[in-house]
Amino acid sequence: MEEQTMVAAAFVSELRDRYGIEFKNLHLLDEAFTHSSYANEHPELGLRDNERLEFLGDAVMELTVSEWLYKRYPDWPEGELTRLRAASVCTRSFSSFAREAHFDKYIRLGKGEEQSGARKRHTLQEDTFEAFNGALYLDQGKDAVVKFLDQIVFPKIAAGEFSAASDHKTFLQEYLQKKGPVEIQYQLLDEEGPAHDRSFAVAVTVDGKRLAKGVGHSKKAAEQDAAKHALADLKHQGPSD
């Protein structure tokens, strides 16, 4: 049991100092950081691996992120929320959160997994991030998870790090405004077709100069398409002086 406590002790300090988190039930924390390969390798310790906590933590993350998006973007349609949730709740993002919080350093692996480089595997890091949040949820409830995510996840979503590919308008705006304030406008050029299959054409202009055209089945979709083409053109040219 010595190693178990040692690992947890170092990690307990780091969690307290960096995130203000103190577990009441340290067994939950131990469980969250026990990979099945480690539990299997040390049957004498009677350890539980983190897979059940990962099951719960996956759902905890789904709800906490969904609720945050729902409240943060009160005017967004469901489709935009779903896209941003999918981009935020995924292996790439969760594994990066896990590394930022040094979870990859503390996960306990069996020797074979260690040698095969499992510690750097994104899915393993993702699983650990989910298991940790599952453990925190059981130990202290949803508010504690939200408080943690307020430090490590939500600011990044708010900063647009996971904006779905569809958010071309935001990307274009950010790209153009790097060089100073500009006026970006979308003009409806044309619409045609029956109501159930209508098609829209839109132009995007910057300080009055037309950058690109876009088409789509809604004005909004056409605007996104125009922004996408404008961005592609701009990036192709490279930064202008």
What residues form the annotated binding site? 54, 127, 130
Q: Closest separation between CB of residue 141 and a copy of itself, Å?
A: 10
Q: Closest separation between CB of residue 66 and a copy of itself, Å?
A: 4
CB nearer to a copy of itself: pick between 57 and 214 = 57
The C-alpha atoms of residue 154 and residue 160 are separated, in whole angstroms, by: 10
Q: Closest separation between CB of residue 238 and a copy of itself, Å?
A: 37
Please pick, among 30, 31, 41, 58, the residue that the annotation labels catalytic: 58
Tell me the CA distances in angstroms from 123 to 128, 129, 210, 241, one per residue in order: 9, 10, 44, 43
CB nearer to a copy of itself: pick between 60 and 231 = 60
Taking a C-beta distance cutoff of 8 angstroms, is the pair 35, 167 a contact? Answer: no
Token pair in block for residue 216? 């789509």
The C-alpha atoms of residue 132 and residue 237 are separated, in whole angstroms, by: 45
Taking a C-beta distance cutoff of 8 angstroms, is the pair 85, 63 a contact? Answer: no
Residues of the shown chain interacting with a copy of itself in the complex, contacts defined by CB under 8 A:
51-52, 54-56, 58-60, 62-63, 65-67, 70, 76-79, 81-82, 85, 142
- Kindly give the residue spans of alpha helices, DSSP state H, lying in 25-181: 26-32, 36-41, 51-72, 78-88, 91-100, 103-106, 111-115, 122-140, 142-152, 154-158, 168-177
Please pick, among 30, 49, 104, 130, the residue that the annotation labels catalytic: 130
Q: Closest separation between CB of residue 140 and a copy of itself, Å?
A: 14
Q: Is 78 a catalytic residue?
A: no
The residue among 167, 17, 142 whose CA lies nearest residue 77 is 167
Tell me the residue type at 183. E
CB nearer to a copy of itself: pick between 64 and 230 = 64
Q: Is 167 a catalytic residue?
A: no
Token pair in block for residue 161? 């790090």
CB nearer to a copy of itself: pick between 79 and 155 = 79
The C-alpha atoms of residue 186 and residue 85 are separated, in whole angstroms, by: 27
The annotated binding site for Mg(2+) is made up of: 54, 127, 130
Q: Which residues are catalytic?
A: 58, 130
